[in-house]
Chains A and B, each alone.
Chain A
Amino acid sequence: MKALLATVRRDILLALRRKSEVLTAVFFFVIVTSLFPLGIGPEPVLLKKIAPGILWVAALLSTLLGLPRLFAADHLDGTLEQMALSPSPLGLLVAGKIVAHWLLCGLPLVLLAPVLGLQFDLDASALGILTLALLLGTPLLSLIGAIGAALTLGVRGGGVLLALLVLPLYIPALIFGAGAVEAHIAGLDVGGHLSLLAAMLALAAFFAPWATTAALRVALE
């Protein structure tokens, strides 16, 4: 457990030394969501209707933006090799890296989403559901994304390939995440959506670090 926390601390420290990389993904989120009204028109009723989908797709894409870096830098400078040989289980270190990725790439999106939701005329309770859904959904995106990042590590055209591998797997998160907000706006109960998101998160938290570790060991061979 200590090793997990140490990895989280290490990755956050490294990211703070290179703030621009984290900020790029966040700005991307802001810009993409702001582009939609420009492309579709400022009709408030329509914007309100498509807001959950737009915010979720944008969150998905911004998470994707940070994924190739998750293991690539450590792979290049050889620190990943050292992690694989460390007395601490590699699975724990990998879990730490995924937590750090969420804190750096996922949490900012969760915090920004309510502000961006205002652009789409969402009311306070809808913003609350949106934030809650993203809070459950973005860790799921980091967990699934880590598998893809490990599989495409050091592979030709890794970034595009990563998107091809990971985006289909993101679909359930997108459906239930955006669905929760839509259901709330339509006056339906959102408990089902949120508990399914939570269930998928629990499943991914159990399996994803394991699959990621296996993929990393293959990549290091």
Chain B
Amino acid sequence: MLTVSGLACSRGERRLFANVGFALGSGEWLHVQGANGAGKTSLMRLLVGLSPADAGEIRWRGEPTPSVDFRREMIYLGHHAAVKEDLTPLENLRLSAALDGVALDERTALAALIRLGLRGREDLPVRVLSAGQKRRVLLARLLTRPAILWVLDEAFNALDVGAVKLLGDLIAEHLAAGGMAVLTSHQPLPVPGGKALVL
């Protein structure tokens, strides 16, 4: 469903990578590896359509991205917290769902937060939560925003042992349900299978 071919990217004068290509089908995931500065994040931003590629093309269901379908069926979580510090976790989830035009009732949102281990924190402002807990608020979006392709950049950072296992389980469940994922990290990931792409 996701096919990438001949992708090239440079930052300023430096060529980061060229001729990157892969294909991802239902239930498959890709592990993007590489040293610091190899261009993992750049590749992710290219993939989701935040920045234009120097060359190459990305197709989703055979159509060049970014199409409306692609935006609806893809979720990208990057380095940023992407949560509002002044709002509570519950408000954060509901507002981002509203912006995306996705229906989200309070029960589903609460269930997602509880699954991420934020029971009892749902009505506190995010500002008072720890870095790891903020990360969990963001990850809760994986459960409240239905998407087929998960693009997660360094999603395992700042998570404790329990949360790493939890995220691994979430990804495994998503893949088992026919989803797809593109993940970056330097460490081995607690998700079985997967193709590897080394930059």
Is A85 a contact of B48 with CB atoms below 8 Å? yes
Is B76 a contact of A2 with CB atoms below 8 Å? no
Is A86 a contact of B82 with CB atoms below 8 Å? no
How far apart are B198's CB and chain A's nearest CB, in angstroms?
A: 25
Asked whether A82 and B101 contact (CB < 8 A) given A13-B91, A17-B87, A221-B52, the answer is: no
In angstroms, Cα B151 to Cα A82, docked, is: 12
1-18 of chain A: CB within 8 A of chain B: 2-3, 6-7, 9-10, 13-14, 17-18
Q: Which residues of A contact B50 (CB under 8 A)?
A: 81, 84-85, 220-221
A96 to chain B: closest residue by CB: B99
> By CB atoms of chain B within 10 A, which of A13, A77, A87 has the most?
A87
Check A24 for interface membership: any CB of B closer than 8 A: no
In angstroms, Cα B97 to Cα A3, docked, is: 10
93-134 of chain B: CB within 8 A of chain A: 95-96, 98-102, 125
B100 to chain A: closest residue by CB: A86
Is B83 a contact of A10 with CB atoms below 8 Å? no
Q: Which residues of A contact B59 (CB under 8 A)?
A: none
B48 to chain A: closest residue by CB: A85
B151 to chain A: closest residue by CB: A85
Check A79 for interface membership: any CB of B closer than 8 A: yes
Q: Which residues of A contact B68 (CB under 8 A)?
A: 87
70-89 of chain B: CB within 8 A of chain A: 71-72, 74, 76, 78-87
Asked whether A88 and B101 contact (CB < 8 A) given A10-B95, A77-B81, A78-B78, the answer is: yes
In angstroms, Cα B134 to Cα A77, docked, is: 12
Check A190 for interface membership: any CB of B closer than 8 A: no
**Chain B interface residues (CB < 8 Å from chain A):** 48-52, 68, 71-72, 74, 76, 78-87, 91, 95-96, 98-102, 125
Q: List 10 A-B contacts (CB under 8 A).
A: A3-B101, A78-B78, A79-B82, A79-B83, A79-B84, A81-B82, A85-B74, A85-B76, A87-B101, A93-B99
